[in-house]
Chain A
Amino acid sequence: MMGGNAHTRWWVDGPVGVIVLDNPPMNVLSDDNRRGIREALAEFRADGTRAVVLTGAGERAFCGGADLKEEEELTAETVGKFLQRGDETFRALREYERPIVAAVNGWAMGGGLVLALWCDVRVGSTRARLGAVGVKVGLMASNVQLSRLLFEGRARDLLLTGRTVEAEEAHRLGLLSSVVAPEALMGEALGWARDIAARPPDVVAALKRAVNTALDPVVAESHR
């Protein structure tokens, strides 16, 4: 099985589905990407895929985030729809029953960082660079997910400064689970995905759900 649109390609490799964002040079997030991710996940679900790898084409960027030209044209009326389209995509990653591995092959900034953060496992190449750059353009993004992944202390540092986090630091912070040479990245990501795919799928799905909800205040209340 394989599919695609102008900026997105996807296919199935054994038990693993692969999605590639292909909008050079920086793989900025287009509606084709947002729709492509959702379509790919729906097809993978129907296909019984057990794990997914999400990556960016080329070696420069995983995903450069929102297209500033598209964003510039947003009005009070259209901004709601824009946010909703982003949300639907992030929620599709979050709520997909099987784990999703982000192979961070270059820049992940702004909305591109959000995309990587909503995945379940992140591995990176030595060229991976992460930036919560929203604040630098007078906006905000990735607040919620960064705060959950890093807790407040470190999340604040990245969100308030918008600074660039290189691969090694991202590894130390726990934002990347491993860092490998660029040519080894797909192998590393597929390795993670195949290990996940080899485990009992119901258990894996339950574990993903459990971790996703473990920090929710409402759920935590009953376990105090």
Chain B
Amino acid sequence: MQIVEGAGITVAVVTGACTGADFESALGADLRIAGADATFSSADVGDPVACARRLTQLLGEARAKEIVLGGRTVSAADALRLGLVTRVVPAAQLGEAARALAQGLRALPPLALRAVRDAVRATRELTPRDALALEHEHFRRLIATQDHKAAVAAFFARREPAFTGE
């Protein structure tokens, strides 16, 4: 397993067996993709309780329990079905898929990207009302950014926008 990064967003790129500390750091990444040969197991993680909580936040109760309670090894296809990873490609194409994903992230406006990541994280602990208030706070800030204006201008000019992070 490898963690790659694009514009501050971390992506766990999983090939082969992903267990123990690897499994825990994969759960800590923002996104997870895998090769068709990948397998996952939560059986030998250092902190099983934290891992179970994290999985429940990521996947919901039913899917988290499917993974942690039986301690079974999860195939790449099952990981995709469960939402543990959001993309599976043939093992030989994994490197290219990871590069393309990181590149795609780098092409996005960085302030919005980080705001989305932080807001999704925070949503876990908030009531819907507070979560919406937080979303609005970000929106007010983002709508005044140069990058937003550049995106709108590019949309109307039908060209690719370039973002500066301002």
Contacts and interface: CB of A to CB of B under 8 A. Distances in A.
Interface of A: 68, 71-72, 74, 76, 79-80, 83, 87, 134-141, 143-144, 147-148, 150-157, 159-162, 173, 216-218
Given A151-B60, A156-B31, A161-B105, 20 more contacts: A68-B156, A71-B152, A79-B139, A79-B143, A83-B136, A83-B140, A135-B112, A138-B111, A138-B112, A138-B163, A140-B138, A147-B120, A147-B131, A148-B123, A153-B83, A156-B117, A159-B120, A160-B31, A216-B127, A217-B126
Contacts of A140: 112, 115-116, 119, 135, 138-139, 142
Contacts, number: 127
B86 A153 contact: yes
A111 to B, nearest CB: 11
B131 A144 contact: yes
A80 B139 CA distance: 10
B125 interface: yes
Contacts of A217: 125-127
B41 to A, nearest CB: 17
B58 interface: yes
A83 B30 CA distance: 28
B119 A80 contact: no
16 contacts: A68-B152, A68-B156, A71-B152, A72-B149, A74-B143, A79-B139, A83-B136, A83-B139, A137-B109, A140-B139, A143-B123, A144-B123, A151-B83, A153-B32, A154-B86, A217-B125
Contacts of A79: 139-140, 143
B84 A153 contact: yes
Contacts of B115: 140
A150 B83 contact: yes
B108 interface: yes
Describe B's contact surface by its main secondary structure.
helix
Contacts of A148: 123, 128
Contacts of B31: 156-157, 160
Interface residues of B, number: 52
A63 to B, nearest CB: 17
A144 B126 CA distance: 10
A112 to B, nearest CB: 15
Nearest to A72: B152
Contact of A159 (B116, B132, B149, B163): B116
Contacts of A151: 57-60, 83
Nearest to A158: B86
B142 to A, nearest CB: 5
A156 B30 contact: yes
A131 B140 CA distance: 21
Interface string B72-105: 0000000000011011000000000000010011
A162 B151 CA distance: 14
A193 to B, nearest CB: 25
B134 to A, nearest CB: 8
Nearest to A74: B143
Contact of B9 (A83, A155, A160): A160
A141 B152 CA distance: 16
A71 B139 CA distance: 11
B124 interface: yes
Contacts of B143: 71, 74, 79, 139
Contacts of A157: 31, 86-87
A80 B137 CA distance: 10
B104 A161 contact: yes
